[in-house]
Structure 1
């Protein structure tokens, strides 16, 4: 059975992976943040630098918006550029008249935090480890008029079938699918971005993860024109900077999309290597259905293991801040093979030290 909760409990919804690598964490190898290493690439840095010559003018998002629309085969009226996906969650919480919002957990906590900040009472559907954290559309209550879930889901890395998600759509309901990590999945087989046949669908995409632009803040919303218009009215003027717009347009080019696909294929290989290494530890259980650029593991005394890993040079993401998880969970970003091998050695030492 999938659990249901309306309780605003002790989970720290504002804790994110960057907290693991701030404040005295110099020299740590970062497995806590899911931004791809070695980014932004040189060509994207150059594009952003070139845009600085136009900073005296107000930002003009028309070209970037058209590029995003073309990339997904959509009319521009279905595209809204945002200062990262985090802004989109705030806009959705404030601009849409939801009365019975539901968030499917474990997942990125910012959507629930934004809804609660806007005064909404949020119900939770809690997917279970015993079921592989897989989505059961029947678990979402019929009366929900706003449903939020991620695909692939952070932190479980589970990729839900697109058709299972589409079954959640119905008249009078807004269905929000966070696809921030979808471009890290080779071929994007379960993507809903570009679909116009799913009523009430809102797809969110981020350019910060694959392209290393977390500090620039750029993402976008794909939705029905009336929804885009409502969200746009809630935005401040010029919400996306000129450098971020230049980056968005550049990342929609065929060459950039091909580069992202190659990176996704490399991540899949490196993730398989990480999972194989983790399988060697009797104390560790990984969510084996992982399809994103990160892996969720269960290990007793995970807090102590995480602390020990820090002394050995590695930062991991604690899992207990995600509703549906507890202190026995850690999230690990997928890195290159050499880094993974060093991490596995450190994990072996940490497990022996914790006992």
Structure 2
């Protein structure tokens, strides 16, 4: 007799990017330049109060985000990274048997979250150039669909959906289906035709935008993200969020980081410049690397992915292999990127 749900036996566990002592880690899409100025001091000060619970409503941070984004505070929910907010969104939108449509390959947490909320995953294969097939995704929507996800830029392929095609797609989605725009890598987008989901679609009641402070803002180790939706959706998410899951240290760090937007932008520009240099070099060996708008790029190596990652590891560089599909490589410092190119 099993004490746990038997359907989870077939579900793969989330696989984080590996950390190997002494090796260069280009596997987890982290920004390599350390915490933003003032973050360590803010966390240190906050630690003195860890015997107290944090503000469960995350009032000050939600207010700061609302001011920065130009939205009402009631439209914002925070959580333990944007992935946790996806969990909460699934919980408030889906009953057992309801469907969630998303591209594949995409963020590997989507099927895990779907299964644990008893929602049925409807995976729509990516196009030949590793981007979303929005027409096929629209056709996959049924009367049981509750959420459709657009990961823009897409993790792990780095590809991005442009405004004209996203406009047409969202117009096709029924009003009773949530369009969840996963914009975890929004800060790295340089193509002006890739829309800001909040600016372009934030006035639509069924559009929800999810973002994180883990990537460009350098807070991966503290886990904090936010969701912007209609007041109704945001309130429902806040209702089911694990109490006090946005920790005292995370709230303090986020507030300090948001004070450093110019420095964040400077570091993003360094990443973007390296992205262009590295991808150009990689394409001389693997010309089928797709365009990327994130802080990583995709090597579509198929069945050779694991062997390639193992070869990189022997050279002291850790990349992220998705067996049978490809390898995701994070953009690091120039020296780290040169080490990868040497391994390549």
Answer yes or no: same fold by TM over 0.5: yes
1:266 to 265, 270, 274: 270
Q: TM-score, normalised to structure 2's length?
A: 0.87
State the alpha-carbon separation in 2 of the partners of residues 257 and 193 from structure 1.
Answer: 18
Does structure 2 conserve the Cα–Cα contact (< 8 Å) formed by 1:82 and 1:219?
Answer: yes
Write the mapping of 1:114-263 to structure 2, written as runs, cut at 5 A: 114-128=113-127, 130-140=128-138, 141-143=140-142, 144-166=145-167, 167-168=169-170, 169-186=173-190, 190-194=195-199, 195-253=201-259, 256-263=260-267
Q: CA RMSD in A?
A: 2.3
Shift of 1:257: 1.9
Greater shift in the superposed pair: 98-107 or 213-222? 98-107
1:11 and 1:318, CA in 2 relative to 1: closer, same or farther beyond 3 A?
farther
1:335 and 1:46, CA in 2 relative to 1: closer, same or farther beyond 3 A?
same
1:68 corresponds to 2:65: yes
State the alpha-carbon separation in 1 of the partners of residues 166 and 9 from structure 2.
Answer: 27
Shift of 1:93: 1.9
Does structure 1 conserve the Cα–Cα contact (< 8 Å) formed by 2:124 and 2:133?
Answer: no
Shift of 1:266: 1.6
Write the mapping of 1:278-293 to structure 2, written as runs, cut at 5 A: 278-281=282-285, 284-293=286-295
The CA deviation string for residues 224-248 of structure 1, in whole angstroms up to 9 with x for no partner, is 1111111111123222111111122
1:202 and 1:302, CA in 2 relative to 1: closer, same or farther beyond 3 A?
same
State the alpha-carbon separation in 2 of the partners of residues 238 and 35 from structure 1.
Answer: 25
Does structure 2 conserve the Cα–Cα contact (< 8 Å) formed by 1:132 and 1:287?
Answer: no
Structure 1 regions of 5+ residues with no counterpart? Answer: 1-7, 321-325, 348-355
1:110 corresponds to 2:109: yes
Shift of 1:119: 0.9
The CA deviation string for residues 130-151 of structure 1, in whole angstroms up to 9 with x for no partner, is 2342442453224233101211
State the alpha-carbon separation in 2 of the partners of residues 286 and 294 from structure 1.
Answer: 15
Write the mapping of 1:64-103 to structure 2, written as runs, cut at 5 A: 64-97=61-94, 99-103=98-102
1:316 corresponds to 2:319: yes
1:54 corresponds to 2:58: no
> Residue 205 of structure 1 aligns to a residue in which SS?
strand
Q: TM-score, normalised to structure 1's length?
A: 0.84
Structure 2 regions of 5+ residues with no counterpart? Answer: 1-7
State the alpha-carbon separation in 1 of the partners of residues 257 and 195 from structure 2.
Answer: 21
Shift of 1:37: 0.6
1:11 and 1:297, CA in 2 relative to 1: closer, same or farther beyond 3 A?
farther
Does structure 1 conserve the Cα–Cα contact (< 8 Å) formed by 2:131 and 2:160?
Answer: no
Does structure 2 conserve the Cα–Cα contact (< 8 Å) formed by 1:180 and 1:204?
Answer: yes
Count of aligned pairs:
325
Shift of 1:269: 1.0
Does structure 1 conserve the Cα–Cα contact (< 8 Å) formed by 2:33 and 2:267?
Answer: no
Residue 4 of structure 1 corresponds to which residue in structure 2? none
State the alpha-carbon separation in 2 of the partners of residues 171 and 41 from structure 1.
Answer: 40
The CA deviation string for residues 239-285 of structure 1, in whole angstroms up to 9 with x for no partner, is 211111112222333xx22222222222121011111111221xx24
